[in-house]
A = this chain, B = another copy of it.
Amino acid sequence: MQQPRLSIAELDRLLCAEFPQAFNTQSGLRIKEVWHGGARVERAFDGASLRPGGTISGPTIMMLADVTIYIAILATIGWVPLAVTTNLSVNFLRKPGPGALVAECRLVKVGKRLAVGEIAIRSVGQEDMVAHAVSTYSIPSRSADGDIIPSN
């Protein structure tokens, strides 16, 4: 089994440094596990994401899906912060109750230009998915000496 290119500690440090708006001590995001080809990320409960009926907002779930595949890609191919989402498709399956969410991403393709993964989102401790997402990221080209070539 291949090792991830970046550990949880390395990812935490790099993400907080580069994306302070999204990753910070307040954001409630916590990388639980990374491996070659995937990642598992939790999001602590946060009253601001509640919607009428006591459920968590769709955008909160989409953001967690997007962050989790991004972390899975970084863990698998190394630090390419300029990888960008080109598609995110989410099916909302059940309304999550108030509580922490956990997303698990499994990459189904890691190509030179595109990575694709599916993401299962659950309430922590529950088996049924609250949402299922599939997302594609575009990976910037690198020149022979490692520089990123602008694309697209």
| A residues whose Cβ falls under 8 Å from a Cβ of B | 18-19, 21-22, 48, 50-52, 57-59, 62-63, 66, 81, 84-95, 108-109, 111-114, 116, 118, 120, 129, 132, 134, 136, 138, 151-152
Contacts and interface: CB of A to CB of B under 8 A. Distances in A.
A135 to B, nearest CB: 10
Contact of A114 (B21, B59, B86, B111): B86
B136 A109 contact: no
Given A118-B118, A134-B89, A50 B63 contact: no
A52 to B, nearest CB: 6
B132 A108 contact: yes
Contacts of A138: 113-114
B89 A90 contact: yes
Nearest to A47: B21
13 contacts: A58-B66, A58-B88, A62-B88, A86-B92, A86-B114, A89-B89, A91-B109, A91-B134, A93-B109, A109-B129, A113-B152, A114-B138, A118-B134
B116 A91 contact: yes
A18 B58 CA distance: 16
